[in-house]
Structure 1
Amino acid sequence: MAEYIIEADQMAEHLSRVVQFPTISHSRESDMDFEPFYAMQEYLEKTYPLLHRTLKKEIVGKAGLLYLWQGTGKSKAKPLMLMAHQDVVPVGDLSKWTYPPFSGTIRDGQVWGRGASDVKSLIIAHMEAIEYLLSVGYCPDYDIYLAYGYNEEVNGGEEGDRSSAKMVAEIMRSRGIQLGGVIDEGTSARGNGYCGVEGDVCVIGVGEKGYADYEIVYRGKGGHTGAPHADNPTTKIAQAIMAIAENPYPYRITPENHLELQLYGRSMKDRERAELFLHMDERWDEMKEYLDKDPFMAGKFHTTMAVSMLRGSDQANVLPDTASLIVNCRLLPEDTLDSVKEYLKSIVPEGADIRLLKGCNPSPTSSLDSRLYRLIPKMFEDRHSDMPVFPDYMLGGMDAKHMTGLTDNVYRFLPFFINGASGSGVHGVNECMTISDLVTGPDFYIKLLPEYGK
């Protein structure tokens, strides 16, 4: 196979162009503007003509994409699915952006804009790689699927609006297709001493916490703010917020977080912290104090609860007869949607109406012994011949969770070798993707796809 020549400027331009389509998802599908999705898809068809002439494309739901690259059937490997999502989160306060969020500005070695790192860069990596492989006459000996959802950022939307990734999973099941593996967005290979580990590391997401939005509602007597009374819904909501803040789920050690920190401990430069990780069972009181100071690490050790939305009166001088909050929870393995709801009932003031708006239980942990898991770090051997690999049970949610049942090998991994601050501003302002990191993506898949079928 001819050597792949990285065209960094071209890749940056392609990413810049797809960033310029404001493919924002909303909780209610009826509120979404799908024209930017369709325009972006048209751009991808023009930019990657070999891919679109060769692969079979299906539209799933309103704007989901499912591609099939049919193989020769010579390999015994089961089909591989590569996933990403087309949608992005809203941009927030425009005045805080250095460059307009949908400008796709290329400057200072970065592509700037909403979706640059989360996760349109992944779609570009897939398509650049496959376009190249087709150009040199490669045809896989097994089937390859590409699945690009349109409502990942809203976890499938509100009740009644289904996840487009879930629709893809249903299509696969209806056709009796079992996958050999799935790779979605997630962690990555990283340099610069990630998490205190000396040298380069490869972090692979092998599972993800559950997700739940619960609405807590109090009803009572409203009235005029000139004559307030203590027992009103807003007071109860305030008490509920304090109860949630003051009664967090206790920390606990799971097989997932125990293994992850044991592996980190063996490779960390900071030996004091390494010894704490390695002996967390015996030094649990110290470990809990450490977790209290590190919210990211703490999230791996308990189900989190965060009040994110409030609603009361529509007017400043009116006491509402109904007040509500939404608490977003990320569930640790062994906690469930039902058990978290019961916990909330046990800590907030009586009289609450608690309703699950949407959610899913924690995902199973994928195999740490599959061929695909072992192949992922090998794709970076030209950079690091013996890069340590760390399994990560992830705090955020991805579309990959819907593929549970189609394969035991569901991995959350970005194909980029991250050296700097790529991904800065994810879900916030000034989101960007470093071009030198971006160009490592196609190379990863150009190596992986032929190797997987051997």
Structure 2
Amino acid sequence: MQEKDVSEIPANNQRRERSQLAFRGLLAVLAFCGFYQFFHLFPCTMWSEEPLSVSFSASTDSTDELLCPLYDKIEFKDPDTSVYILHDDEFRNKSISRLSKAVQIPTWIDDEGSDFTRFTKFHEYLETEFQRVFDAANVFKVNTYGIVLEFKGSNSSLKPAMFTAHQDTVPPGDPQNWDKDPFSGLYDGTRVYGRGASDCKNLLIGLLESMDYLLEKGFKPERTIIFAFGFDEESSGKYGASHISKFLLERYGPKSLYHIIDEGFGVFMELQNRYFAMLATGEKGYLDLGIEVLQPGGHSSIPPDHTAIGTMSKLISRYEDRLYDPILVNFNPTLNTLQCIAEYADIEKSLKRDILRAHFDEKSNERVIKLLLNNKITKYNVLTTHAADIINGGDKANALPQNVTALINHRIAHGNGFDTIMDRVTGIATGVAQEHRMGLIVDDEILIEPTLAGSIKIKALYKLAVAPVTPINDEIWASLAGHYRTFYEDITYPEKFEDDVLVLSAGIMTGNTDTRHYWDLTDHIFRGQPGFTPMTSGVHGNNEYVDADSHLQVVAFYYNYILSIS
């Protein structure tokens, strides 16, 4: 071990409405199941109690080239071992014990002021439990608590493949609101409970287990394999993944990696006896906008017509009054999700035609957008969002507020950018400032000189562009699709695939992962993991858990996938 710190419209309108409702429900499942903020809304696994009313057929217009093609299965090098991992009771118990112990070690963080020293105990556990893995790797401790494990390959012409997870979790909240102790790691014979069980110590432990078993069997990679584990993903990764990225760029250089696969929802979804998998190939952008209203103070008995709080309220209210214009551009991965549904689901012909024409026909595109906007979840795939999340101001009842601040969070849709937001908010703020005869300063540029009445200041506090979209329909995508087909069709659920296939779709991540820091390392970044994500998993909420079967799928898939690509 080397360690360094470093078209046909049905006459029956009810039938059409049912078809559209079913389509929207299916889309919501395919596009969002597993994304943490939407877990409670949609059933998406074989355990769903209320399955969607959608019928399927793998049909498409015979004259059209498939927009969501199937890829050939890739033969596993050691399929028997994956079967063993999934079904052997002794292996299962050991694997669950390892995960349970990891959950028992608190590694939660706050947005600021986190005590990272608690990660020391977690590191000690990992290094002891997975001694063979750490002994075989070049181990780098990046910014003290970031872990990079490098398993050096013998063929330097092959680009390294990187797999990531994060060590940290969100706080548990009030333990009294949990049915089980949030740090018990309790296994009830089916599920492992506790904070981090599903987000995402299951992935971290699963990766280490897969490598541990590979090494036990004499694994010597040709391609370098890298595991990278940040420690503050839940607060944007500025201390963990950010530093890991700089380290890897110095060590390997830009665009040096084969791919990066990070956390995400479980890819496997069973819907009305048909099967889909989805890997997120893109993320929305992000912008925190700070607004400050400065006005003279004074006694509350002689107030101006609008206090600083009133001015701020008017600005925010006007800003929230109108949504951003929806947009569905060709590079939005949502379009591929739609295309896969259209080509493999039995939906209304006119709707199917619109989806398959949306990438080149303006009217079809408009109708698809309209359908997405009618659903409170799917609309966010084509909308830039704004949320006024924080506001502060005022000191006491008889004193006029002099300084009022607010923070508005934005998630930026594909096809929009920072200018989209700054132009909108600047226009609204200009109107408010002129009405109140105040000044306006935007990103330190004086647009209206401050006056005795005060000023409005607007500044972009944190910006993250829309993530580069990972290409699909290339060799790397085909490899992932082929491996996933083999894994689920032949290894995990052969009884389900006697007359069926697994369809792999691209998708969008409405939130952000540690991959925000890794864009310079590769053009191929995927977010998602083997397994399934029930809607009740409790990620970022109470009673978080992971199904043991899902956890074992992580181990079993990555065992053969890493063996195959390296």
TM-score by length of 1: 0.89
1:172 pairs with 2:248: yes
Residue 136 of structure 1, aligned match among 217, 220, 239: 217
1:286–1:222 distance in 2 versus 1, CA, 3 Å: farther
1:56 pairs with 2:135: no
**Correspondence 1:110-125 to 2 at 5 A:** 110-125=191-206
Q: Which amino acid aligns with 2:123?
A: Q
1:19 pairs with 2:103: yes
Q: Give the conservation status (yes or no) of the 8 Å contact 2:328–2:415.
A: no
> 1:208 offset after TM fit, Å?
1.0
How far apart, in 1, do the equivalents of 2:174 and 2:312 lie? 27
2:530 is paired with a residue of what secondary structure? strand
Q: Give the conservation status (yes or no) of the 8 Å contact 1:252–1:302.
A: yes
Counterpart position of 2:314: 239
Q: Give the conservation status (yes or no) of the 8 Å contact 1:169–1:402.
A: yes
1:439–1:358 distance in 2 versus 1, CA, 3 Å: same
1:260–1:11 distance in 2 versus 1, CA, 3 Å: same
Residue 476 of structure 2, aligned match among 362, 372, 382: 372
Counterpart position of 2:190: 109
Q: Deviations over 1:363-417 (max 9, x none)?
A: 111121333322223333242263111111221101113222222211112122x
How far apart, in 2, do the equivalents of 1:244 and 1:279 lie? 34
1:382–1:79 distance in 2 versus 1, CA, 3 Å: closer
Counterpart position of 2:326: 251
Counterpart position of 2:129: 47
> 1:316 offset after TM fit, Å?
6.1
Q: Give the conservation status (yes or no) of the 8 Å contact 1:222–1:232.
A: no
Counterpart position of 2:32: none
How far apart, in 2, do the equivalents of 1:429 and 1:229 lie? 46
How far apart, in 1, do the equivalents of 2:471 and 2:321 lie? 37
1:243–1:68 distance in 2 versus 1, CA, 3 Å: same
1:332–1:54 distance in 2 versus 1, CA, 3 Å: same
1:247 is paired with a residue of what secondary structure? coil
How far apart, in 1, do the equivalents of 2:420 and 2:371 lie? 27
> 1:59 offset after TM fit, Å?
1.0
- Work out which of the two has the higher radius of gyration on C-alpha atoms and give 1 or 2: 2
How far apart, in 1, do the equivalents of 2:478 and 2:267 lie? 13
How far apart, in 2, do the equivalents of 1:370 and 1:10 lie? 38
> 1:146 offset after TM fit, Å?
0.7
1:340 pairs with 2:421: yes
Q: Which amino acid aligns with 1:326?
A: L
1:66 pairs with 2:179: no
Q: Give the conservation status (yes or no) of the 8 Å contact 1:23–1:86.
A: yes
Counterpart position of 2:263: 185
Q: Deviations over 1:88-141 (max 9, x none)?
A: 122334443222322222236221222111111110110010000001111111
How far apart, in 1, do the equivalents of 2:374 and 2:398 lie? 40
Counterpart position of 2:92: 8
Counterpart position of 2:489: 384
> 1:172 offset after TM fit, Å?
2.0
How far apart, in 2, do the equivalents of 1:108 and 1:421 lie? 19
Q: Which amino acid aligns with 2:559?
A: I
How far apart, in 1, do the equivalents of 2:177 and 2:297 lie? 38
1:198–1:244 distance in 2 versus 1, CA, 3 Å: farther
Q: Give the conservation status (yes or no) of the 8 Å contact 1:247–1:347.
A: no
Q: Give the conservation status (yes or no) of the 8 Å contact 1:184–1:414.
A: yes
Q: Give the conservation status (yes or no) of the 8 Å contact 2:184–2:193.
A: yes
Counterpart position of 2:337: 260
For these two proteins, the number of residue pairs brought into alignment is: 440
2:521 is paired with a residue of what secondary structure? coil
Q: Which consecutive unaligned segments of at least 5 residues does structure 2 have?
A: 1-77, 86-90, 434-439, 441-455, 491-500
Counterpart position of 2:555: 442
Counterpart position of 1:428: 541
Q: Give the conservation status (yes or no) of the 8 Å contact 1:372–1:452.
A: no
Residue 411 of structure 2, aligned match among 327, 330, 337: 330
1:238 is paired with a residue of what secondary structure? helix
2:391 is paired with a residue of what secondary structure? strand
How far apart, in 2, do the equivalents of 1:109 and 1:345 lie? 53
> 1:296 offset after TM fit, Å?
2.7
1:356 is paired with a residue of what secondary structure? strand
1:315–1:200 distance in 2 versus 1, CA, 3 Å: farther
State the Cα RMSD in Å.
2.5
Counterpart position of 2:294: 219
1:448 is paired with a residue of what secondary structure? helix
TM-score by length of 2: 0.72
2:471 is paired with a residue of what secondary structure? coil
How far apart, in 2, do the equivalents of 1:420 and 1:269 lie? 25
